[in-house]
Amino acid sequence: MKTVRCHEIADDITTVTLDEVDLPEPGPREVQVRIMACAVNFPDILMIQGKYQFAPPLPFAPGGEFAGDVIAVADDVTEFKPGDRVSGGNRYGGFAEAINADAGVLRHIPEGVPYEKAASYSTAYLTAYVALKIRGHLQAGETLLVHGATGGVGLAAVDVGKFMGAKVIATGGTDEKLAIVKKRGADHIINYTQANGSLGGFREKVKQLTDGNGADVIYDPVGGTVFDESMRCINWNGRILTIGFTSGVWPKAAVNHILIKQISVIGVRAGEIGRRDPELGKQTRDDIYRLLAEGSIDPYICASFPLEQAIDAMNMLVDRKVVGKVVVTANGYKP
Query: Alpha-carbon distance 59 to 192, whole Å?
Result: 41
Asked if residue 241 and residue 259 are part of one domain, the reply reads yes
End residue of a domain, out of 236, 253, 272: 272
The range of the structural domain enclosing residue 175 comes to 124-272
Domain assignment present for residue 283? The answer is no
Q: How confident is the model at residue 199, as a pLDDT?
A: 53
Asked if residue 171 and residue 261 are part of one domain, the reply reads yes
Asked if residue 129 and residue 115 are part of one domain, the reply reads no
Asked if residue 130 and residue 116 are part of one domain, the reply reads no
Q: How confident is the model at residue 200, as a pLDDT?
A: 57
Asked if residue 155 and residue 258 are part of one domain, the reply reads yes
Q: How confident is the model at residue 231, as a pLDDT?
A: 93
Q: What is the CATH number of the domain that holds 90?
A: 3.90.180.10
Asked if residue 214 and residue 145 are part of one domain, the reply reads yes
Q: How confident is the model at residue 223, as a pLDDT?
A: 86
Tens digit of each residue's pLDDT, the chain (335 residues): 999 999 999 999 999 999 999 999 999 999 999 999 999 999 999 999 999 889 999 999 999 999 999 999 999 999 999 999 999 998 999 999 999 999 999 999 999 999 999 999 999 999 999 999 999 999 999 999 999 999 999 999 999 999 999 999 999 989 999 999 999 999 999 998 775 545 557 889 999 999 999 999 999 998 888 888 999 999 999 999 999 887 777 888 888 889 988 999 999 998 888 889 999 999 999 999 999 999 999 999 999 999 999 999 999 999 989 999 999 999 999 99
Asked if residue 170 and residue 95 are part of one domain, the reply reads no
Query: Alpha-carbon distance 74 to 55, whole Å?
Result: 27
Q: For the chain, what is the domain count?
A: 2
Asked if residue 311 and residue 171 are part of one domain, the reply reads no
Query: Alpha-carbon distance 304 to 317, whole Å?
Result: 12
DSSP string, 53-85: SS-PPSSB----EEEEEEEEE-TT--S--TT-E
Q: How confident is the model at residue 143, as a pLDDT?
A: 98
Asked if residue 163 and residue 257 are part of one domain, the reply reads yes
Q: How confident is the model at residue 162, as a pLDDT?
A: 97
**Beta strands 2-5 and 167-172, pairing class:** unpaired
Helix axes 278-293, 122-129, angle to 10 degrees: 110
Domain assignment present for residue 100? The answer is yes
Q: How confident is the model at residue 196, as a pLDDT?
A: 54
79, 289 in Cβ contact below 8 A? Answer: no
pTM, two decimal places: 0.92
